[in-house]
Structure 1
């Protein structure tokens, strides 16, 4: 679906942190890439009319609205970009797909397996009518991580034996850090596990080409209640110690041992209390003839070890992934000029628009998102059972091997 001239008219639901990142991507993609279709940032939707209007002005959208249902029903909208808390993903995505709109949905796909199954089923039905759906695992589009994918898939590290991935942040290390919707299970679904652990799981499966099949998990919450910081609390010099507190209902640390479909063993971690780590997604995949290692805090670099070299030449070497021959880099700056975190969102838009124009299915699909949701659910079930092994349904792994 698109306008008469082929333009894809976008409605973005939500305008917070992720909304700002997505807005930047929709703005820059047509500037740096030769898109097969033009795009219009038609409308941004928020619950408060004044804030939504201010966001439209600040982020470069043509208009604003407060009712996403009305926006989805409009004939002049072709694609719905969902940047809201996970509790609303399923309702918005299913309605948009049933209305014939393409959908981009932030990760994790949903707050539960049941919701994710509804979304994947709706996406499968919509695909029969040429409507596409993609989940926003944006790190797949970091050039260095894509290079790792290409090297592993080309057999450059041999058979994968061991995978390790940790995603560490420290924004909850302070026990007086304020309560947010991300710490409320009803809105967020889970804590570090779903918010950043989902990224670690998807990235490893994407690079390694193998699906998590069994898990043993541990979830822990170090700070069980946090201050509710409102404007009123801040008046008169009141501190977090004086503020009312609400229970934290999600984890802030997740540790996972996993078995993958290729016989490899995995170790995963996700933490919001890792002091000194601001946004450290670190991945290392070891094979019979080499290894690759990546750190998001040094996202223009990939460490590559070739074990087939003479013993005197072995060891990791750093590849600066800024050459025009590297994935997506040719649309940006001269060789050696680094990219940043935001660029992955632009690459995501480029790939999505290209898939729509070509009539192909974009990746990662809602089926991929459903698989990750099932992994998260298995981890939670295992943690509830004191770390006993829990199986991930085998039929959820079909799409991660591409």
Structure 2
């Protein structure tokens, strides 16, 4: 039986901590059938800052020591929203303590860490403890509908995919140093940050794992100013890759945090032998669909993905009332709580996170060897 309400601790209070806090605060309002939750504690290193954030986001209390928090009896769920270098340590400790764990993407900074996390999650699952990785874009209704259209054969056999995730928050060479630009904390740059989303979407939409990669990485601004003065940027600013799936689909991928004028531009174009589907995150309630190949004058049509029978929409608003980026986190929290209550395996799993990490590692290996083709390591 699931104890209710479930006490939740979120580790990390900045960008992702805020998004996840919003989800935990609202999940029962839109998904009343899931277990009740208690926003127990928000954790961060800066005592004053995390205390203020906890007050704003609706948490009962704040703390600075995550190790003591995961041992508490009033904490049932640990939600990890920290930089990637601490994902493995926190997750392994939380699972060992019997806590259900949700981890923001990417799963960790290395394949080896991700493998250890998956092994721990499988052992914990045998004890009734659940673990999930937070690829929130799986809960965008338009992308879930894209997956359904592909699976139903509406665009025929998929041949190729064009994918790009472009932002510009680092385009200014004078933008300050941040932890995301230090390899020891972030693991990689835009490749792990945005590329992980793209690779997971390829796996999710196609149901077809990437088996080979060739890639290139570029750091356009090699130094930035941090608290102690100028320091080197040790990760990539932009990345390009050609990916191949097991069934022969070819995907071209571009990710960048230096694409001047693009704020959060995730675009996906899937081309089959009978049609196509195109998506743009900056218009996340819409799809452009071509699935009438016999009508040469038809062209692609705009589909507004807000109908109650579209994926994820039944919990929200009447048709035509669009959703936003933040809704994906609420649906994600609802899925995790449902899995906990029903004793099922939540998706996406740590195995999915490891699969993404292996593709990213292959891209990075290829980039270090003049873009040669690298096979993606197999096995879960």
Q: TM-score, normalising length from structure 2?
A: 0.98
CA positional deviation for 1:249? 0.4
CA shift at 1:204, angstroms? 1.8
Displacement of 1:260 after TM fit? 0.5
Q: Measure how far apart 1:48 and its partner are.
A: 2.0
Structure 2, unmatched stretches of 5+, are: none
- Residue 133 of structure 1 deviates from its aligned partner by 0.6
Shift of 1:309: 3.4
Q: 1:399 maps to which residue?
A: none
Specify every segment of 5 or more residues in structure 1 that has no aligned partner in the other structure, as ranges.
231-242, 397-402
Residues 186-197 of structure 1: pairs in structure 2 closer than 5 A? 186-197=184-195
Q: Is the 8 A contact 1:208 1:285 kept in 2?
A: no
Cα-to-partner distance string for 1:24-73 (whole Å, 9 max, x where unaligned): 01111111112331111111111122222111101110111111111111
Question: Is the CA contact 1:204–1:283 (under 8 Å) kept in the aligned structure 2?
Answer: no
Match of 2:331 in 1: 347
- 1:264 pairs with 2:249: yes
| Local SS of the residue matching 1:268 | strand
The residue aligned with 2:220 is 222
User: Which residue does 1:233 correspond to in 2?
Assistant: none
Residues paired across the two proteins, number: 380
Write out per-residue CA displacement over residues 276-305 of structure 1, whole angstroms, 9 at most, x where no aligned residue: 110000001111111111000000001111
1:216 partner SS: strand
Contact kept? 2:2, 2:340, Cα under 8 Å: no
Counterpart in the other structure of 1:282:
267
Q: In the alignment, what sits opposite 1:251?
A: 236
1:10 aligned residue (3, 8, 11): 8
User: Is 2:83 aligned against 1:99?
Assistant: no
Which residue in the other structure is 1:29 paired with? Answer: 27
Tell me how far 1:334 sits from its aligned partner: 1.4
CA–CA separation in structure 1 for the residues paired with 2:354 and 2:204? 14
8 Å contact kept, 2:142–2:286: yes
Q: Counterpart of 2:340 in 1: which secondary structure?
A: helix
More deviation, 36-45/80-89: 36-45
Distance 1:259 1:203 in 2: 14
Query: How far does residue 307 in structure 1 lie from its aligned partner after superposition?
Result: 4.0
Decide whether the 8 Å contact of 2:28 with 2:34 is kept in 1.
no
Specify the alignment match of 1:87 in structure 2.
Answer: 85
- RMSD value over aligned CA atoms? 1.2
Q: Runs of 4+ in structure 1 displaced over 4 angstroms?
A: none
Q: Distance in 1 between matches of 2:367 and 2:186?
A: 18
Per-residue deviation at 1:308? 3.2
Secondary structure of the residue aligned to 2:372 is: coil
| 2:356 is equivalent to residue 358 of structure 1 | no
CA contact (8 A) 1:93 1:119 kept: yes
Deviation at 1:205? 1.5
1:299 corresponds to 2:284 = yes
Matched, 1:120 2:118: yes
User: What do the CA deviations read for 1:238-272 (whole angstroms, capped 9, x no partner)?
Assistant: xxxxx821110000110000110111111111101
In structure 2, the residue matched to 1:390 is 374
Establish whether residue 371 from structure 1 lines up as the match of residue 371 from structure 2.
no
